[in-house]
Amino acid sequence: MRWLFILTTAGILLISPCKITQAQEAQTLTNAPLETRAAAYPNRIEITVKISAHEDLKIAQDMQIAKGQIISDRIPEKSRLQAQKKQLELSLKRVLATTIQAPPKPLPVPAVAPLPPVNYLEHEAAIERANIAIALSEEEISIKVQEIEELSNIPDLDPLIIEHEQSKLRQLELNHQIAANELELAQGKLQTAKQQREYQEYQASITKARRIEEQNLAASHYQRQLAEYNEKIAAKEIQVTQLQEKINVIQSQIDNLQIVSPYAGEVRSIEFLGQSEDGAIAVRILLKVSSEQ
């Protein structure tokens, strides 16, 4: 006759061949693999559990136990693990509550306003007026000089007349000089206006280049901030995953600390096998399975 063993993280269940179906049910409860080997006690289950102290054992010899009743429960270790789990859950809660602000997008750099259309009409008109005034004054001077020469050829002419005409000539020459000065001034203003325009265009080109540089710097700074933001998001997700995994591991350890009976029956014997290096005490329990399950 062959016997069926259930190997669990907390012990070994020894089951007779008549309990194959029940053994499969127990395997579902313990989530452990099944293995068969020879044994000599029909309708008996050997359960080996590990406890930290004698009070972790929740059954006694000759006790009738029900299916699903707690056999052992390592309460001190469970309390310790639950405290660790609580700390991890608080850490997870703090991490999830942490807000990582996305960097604001850079504001658009204001465009450089175009310069108004260039216009030198006023200066050119002043130059034209001065040239006309000069031409007129030269023509008047030429006429007056010719008149004075003709008067000088008249015999016995009153000298006051010639002197009067010469006075008019001097005035015309003065007007010619004034017109020449006005031409020079108008030409100077035109040249100044052109130089000012060149300077304005130069300043506008500098301002435009500076705006482009500012825009590039803002975009580069935003990209760095965005990379840092993505790194923080990824780090948070990794931290959340790690904490959740630790919580799951501890919860699994907590779940394995409590062993329940897969069957109803009578506790026939309890044997303390000894203590391992980690301080755990191995206990072997012989359970007589009730015929009614």
Rounded mean pLDDT of the chain?
Answer: 83
> Residues 6 or more apart from 147 whose CB is under 8 A from it?
165
Torsion (CA) 75, 81, 82, 87 in degrees, nearest 10? 160
- pLDDT single digits (tens) 263-289: 888 999 999 988 888 888 899 999 888
- pLDDT single digits (tens) 222-266: 999 999 999 999 999 999 999 999 999 999 999 888 888 888 889
What distance in Å separates the CA atoms of residue 269 and residue 250, rounded to the nearest whole number? Answer: 32
What distance in Å separates the CA atoms of residue 268 and residue 285, rounded to the nearest whole number? Answer: 8
On the question of pLDDT at 34 being above 70, the answer is no
The confidence score (pLDDT) of residue 98 equals 92
Q: Are 71 and 267 in contact (CB under 8 A)?
A: no
User: pLDDT > 70: what percent of the chain?
Assistant: 85
What's the residue count for the chain?
293
- pLDDT single digits (tens) 139-194: 999 999 999 898 888 888 888 888 998 999 999 999 999 999 999 999 999 999 99
What distance in Å separates the CA atoms of residue 5 and residue 20, rounded to the nearest whole number? Answer: 10
> Residues 6 or more apart from 69 whose CB is under 8 A from it?
58, 59, 260, 261
What distance in Å separates the CA atoms of residue 71 and residue 60, rounded to the nearest whole number? Answer: 9
At 42, the pLDDT band (50, 70, 90 cuts) reads low
Q: Are 215 and 109 in contact (CB under 8 A)?
A: yes
